[in-house]
Structure 1
Amino acid sequence: MNAFVLNRHGRMVFPSNVMPELDFSTLETLEQLDNVIRRDFETKAPSGTEIMGKVRTGAYDTRYDLMRDLALNLFWANRFSITMYDKRPTRWADVPRTRDDVFLPVLQPWEDGEAKIAAVEQAYPTLPARWDGEVEDRVFGILFDVYGHRRHQATTLPAIKPTVAEFMQHSGALTFRLPSYDPDHPVYSYADIVDCDEDVPELEALHRWAMVLHNQYPWDRSQVELAEASQLRDDDYVVAFHPRDREVRGFLRRLAAGAPPRHAPAARESRPPVRPFPAVDVRQQFGVRPRLEALVAVHGDQACGNEDLIRNTAYNWSPMSADEIAAKTGIEQRRYSSLPLEELALQAAEGALAKAGREPEEIGVVLVCTCTSSRLIPSLATYLCGQLGMHQVYAAYDLIAACAGMPYGVADATRLIQEIERPVLVVCAEKFSDKIGNVRTSRMIFGDGASAMVIGPAPEGSDGDIDLLKTYASGPASEVNSILWPNPEFDNNITVFGPQVKALAGRYLAQMITELEQLPAPDGRDGSMMDAIDLIVPHQANKTMVIQLAERAGLSADQLYFNIEQVGNTSSASIPLAIHDAVRDGVITEPVRVFAPGFGAGAVAGYAVMRIDPAVVAVSTPTVPHPHDGGEPVPASTSASEDMREAFG
């Protein structure tokens, strides 16, 4: 449930942001589960006592602030049931007594519950509406119907519930009792939740939260009591807890078996190499000069703006506005693809062959640079060979160099051309949208997209298009592990540890600039190689961060080209997508020398200094969905902004 969907209003929705479903296949111990629960539910949620204290001290400025705390409290109160169990009201006479996979929650009465409920009920009408009083009243009604009928303490809930037999052995243990149960008690359907539509993004997110929380108690909540086993009558209903899926069952079995946890070995302290690795001077070191024959881009077909993120605020996100996301990342929207990664890559590959005027049988090597492929056998590169009808190539393989994928791919292509003297197809493709889940940092940054290049032998006597190549890898283990996917600690979703990413990016960018300043300009020109650069197209990691690091390394912001505002971070595809967009937007109108540095996950990095002729770039017009027509795509404007033209001439 990690992928996005378009609702009937044409708006993007992330179901996993509001419907918690942990992947229990990744968990081995209760300690691991506790860490996940604490991070996702406890650290963000106020207790009932804290809510009552804030009411009494006048700490709530608006109704929305109070409602948000209520919702977070209710997610926390359901932290185990909502992630591990299905709740099934069952007649006490029909509850199995000996099964090891049917559980009854043991509950304690809510301490000062009536006072906490009364404090909220009395405070809400006295607070001003934040945006829309009518909508806020409606959402509060759903939330308070749940909060106001709570009977049990939430601080003492264990993850592992007792079986029915264990419950009956504990004298005085309390559980839910319902005098009656209507199986048709109204609940919100999946469509109701996904199609929720409010003008204010924050209220739309809160409304979804409220509907999901309502569904956690699909019975007449006013009748609920807490009762001991001895007080239960045959026709009473109890709420039996069943493991929600086989992964939860497997987790419970592992706990029962007492399997010892696995610990990763400690990393050694990182040490620099015995001597630096020099840049590869392509014209000096290779006899066959590489030429860029074609470059194409495939943008994602769906635009996910910052406002879409706010409409999909997850229960475990800290508050942040659309403007704050833009200020922090420089991103106004990221583009997602409705296609699987394989089709994105195939579209890019076919487009590059067409632009280069090459037939599949002319290609000697297929390289795919990606860090988001779940295809291991066959590799994505060999899959493309089959789809393109290539009967035999010299080599086909995937490169996992993440955000340095393009420099790594171009470097390998340059070496392989020396051996085979035939064109190499380099495809850079990423699909992050279905690998993010409800991780806010990742959702703010990453997008989908693909690009492909045909790099062939230059004509005899030509200098080719590539001057310098350099790749790097590694560093302290904290930097190597600064971006993880899959990450068991975050439900196997991709996670980013910002300070470590910034450290490795700054380290590499400063090293690259220093190296280029120490190399002579090509063609006998005065100055350094850095002086000969016409345009810098960096990996589009985070515009705010990259500009800060570039300025620290002695560059100015107007030397760099960015398209991250509209496409997000597409890792290996980001540099070629940006080169394409620079041509499309009129920033590159004649052949220029480009410095393209990449750096990121795994503490890998690399750069290419290369000539970009706009004539080899197949300019495409991206499509964006119309906001109110059910998501049908419409062409986006291709005109370059005036400030961009002014910055780059």
Structure 2
Amino acid sequence: MAAVLCGLGAWLPPRVLANEEIAARLDTSDEWIRSRTGIAERRVADPGTSTVDMAVAAGRQALDSAGLTEVDAVVLATATPDQVCPASAPQVAARLGLGEVNAVDVNAVCSGFLYALATASGFIAGGIARRVLVIGADTFTTLVDPDDRGTVPIFGDGAGAVVLRAGDADELGALGPFALHSDGGLAELLMVPAGGAKQRRSDNPHDYFLDMHGQAVFRQAGTRMAEASRSVLEQAGWTVGDVDRFIGHQANIRILQTTAKYLGLPQDALVVNIERTGNTSAASIPLAMADAQRDGTLLAGQRVLLSAFGAGLTWGATLLRWPALANV
């Protein structure tokens, strides 16, 4: 029993934060940001808009795209739940009118959407669910120090979603195999130190914001994404030459380009929307999928490689042949 992608949705906050606005406040410039990240603008959620709000909007679009009003489970990938406790997925399910369904959060940060896809695929393979709504949503700007020129230009907010249904492994849209990995020994490379059980409170306000060691993360990301990608290609019996589109986590344009180079993929195989969205953490892959579906970059039957790297450290990859989807 395979998990088959059959619906797709996305939602971005209306507020656009352009590089020029950041440069006017911090010691940076539009040219500096673009040259190092590939980002020109990002979206920022208004104070009254939460992760659950965004997840509901993207989830509703994905359900409409799939022509469904009911699913058996909701898996929400997020590092920014509305509350530390309880999980946000049950609230999303309730807001969507899905009843008392199985609903769970997955936190693998920027790799979260891939982990959520694997979790949902497991539900389907195990007979726990036949239809699963998978959402990646993060208001990651809430974790960014507004005075940190190293992180403010990078991150944005948003949500993307897919619907998976039970089907056959040879169908268009069937996911897998998966490769998922982690290295907690390097957790401090990307970390929000305070707010959890280990350090519930801190006198240093910066401890509540993301601490990122950018160069060390860069060195890890391309290598790890390429390793996971090679693993799933080998498991599936695909070669690099079989890949039509590579949709990586939209963290940094140079990371995407480096990963493609390590794999031997042509640069024109990359699906990239980071210029307009920034790094939206767990939302980035489904947002990129939605953009590429709308503009015709993704076509039914194309062989697509997905890969991500994030805090934890976590990383992974999976494959599918792109299905015929209804745009919403």
TM-score by length of structure 2 reads: 0.89
Letter in 1 for 2:122: R
Change (3 A) 1:517 1:595: closer
Q: Secondary structure of the residue that 1:434 maps to in structure 2?
A: helix
The alpha-carbon deviation at position 464 of structure 1 amounts to: 5.3
1:515 aligns with 2:267: no
Change (3 A) 1:544 1:506: closer
The alpha-carbon deviation at position 545 of structure 1 amounts to: 3.1
The alpha-carbon deviation at position 427 of structure 1 amounts to: 1.0
The alpha-carbon deviation at position 486 of structure 1 amounts to: 4.8
1:482 aligns with 2:192: no
Q: Flag the structure with higher strand content.
A: 2
Q: Which sections of structure 2, spanning at least 5 residues, go unmatched? A: 195-201
The alpha-carbon deviation at position 509 of structure 1 amounts to: 2.2
Deviations 1:499-526 (A, max 9, x none): 22113213312312432554453xxxxx
Q: Is the Cα–Cα contact under 8 Å of residues 330 and 542 in structure 1 kept in the other structure?
A: yes
Q: Is the Cα–Cα contact under 8 Å of residues 331 and 565 in structure 1 kept in the other structure?
A: yes
Partner of 1:602: 312
Deviations 1:55-88 (A, max 9, x none): xxxxxxxxxxxxxxxxxxxxxxxxxxxxxxxxxx
The alpha-carbon deviation at position 459 of structure 1 amounts to: 6.6
The alpha-carbon deviation at position 408 of structure 1 amounts to: 0.6
Q: Distance in 1 between matches of 2:306 and 2:90?
A: 27
Alignment partner of 1:471 out of 180, 190, 197: 180
Q: Secondary structure of the residue that 1:301 maps to in structure 2?
A: coil
Q: CA RMSD in A?
A: 2.2
Q: Is the Cα–Cα contact under 8 Å of residues 439 and 494 in structure 1 kept in the other structure?
A: no
1:450-465 aligned at under 5 Å gives the runs 450-458=159-167, 462=171, 465=174
1:422 aligns with 2:130: yes
Q: Is the Cα–Cα contact under 8 Å of residues 306 and 322 in structure 1 kept in the other structure?
A: yes
Q: Secondary structure of the residue that 1:581 maps to in structure 2?
A: helix
Q: Secondary structure of the residue that 1:320 maps to in structure 2?
A: coil
Alignment partner of 1:556 out of 251, 254, 266: 266
Partner of 2:10: 297
Letter in 1 for 2:136: C
Q: Distance in 2 between matches of 1:445 and 1:534?
A: 28
Q: Secondary structure of the residue that 1:580 maps to in structure 2?
A: helix
1:348-427 aligned at under 5 Å gives the runs 348-360=58-70, 363-393=71-101, 395-418=102-125, 419-427=127-135
Deviations 1:590-628 (A, max 9, x none): 33221010111111011120122352443xxxxxxxxxx
Alignment partner of 1:544 out of 254, 258, 265: 254
Alignment partner of 1:440 out of 149, 159, 168: 149
Higher relative contact order (CA 8 A, sep 6+): 2
Q: Is the Cα–Cα contact under 8 Å of residues 471 and 605 in structure 1 kept in the other structure?
A: yes
Q: Is the Cα–Cα contact under 8 Å of residues 594 and 611 in structure 1 kept in the other structure?
A: yes
The alpha-carbon deviation at position 302 of structure 1 amounts to: 1.2
The alpha-carbon deviation at position 296 of structure 1 amounts to: 0.4
Structure of greater Rg: 1
Letter in 1 for 2:216: Q
Q: Secondary structure of the residue that 2:208 maps to in structure 1?
A: coil
Letter in 2 for 1:428: G
Letter in 2 for 1:373: P
Letter in 1 for 2:190: I
Deviations 1:275-315 (A, max 9, x none): xxxxxxxxxxxxx12211101010121111110101222xx
The alpha-carbon deviation at position 553 of structure 1 amounts to: 4.2
Deviations 1:2-28 (A, max 9, x none): xxxxxxxxxxxxxxxxxxxxxxxxxxx
Alignment partner of 1:494 out of 210, 214, 232: 210
TM-score by length of structure 1 reads: 0.46
Letter in 2 for 1:615: L
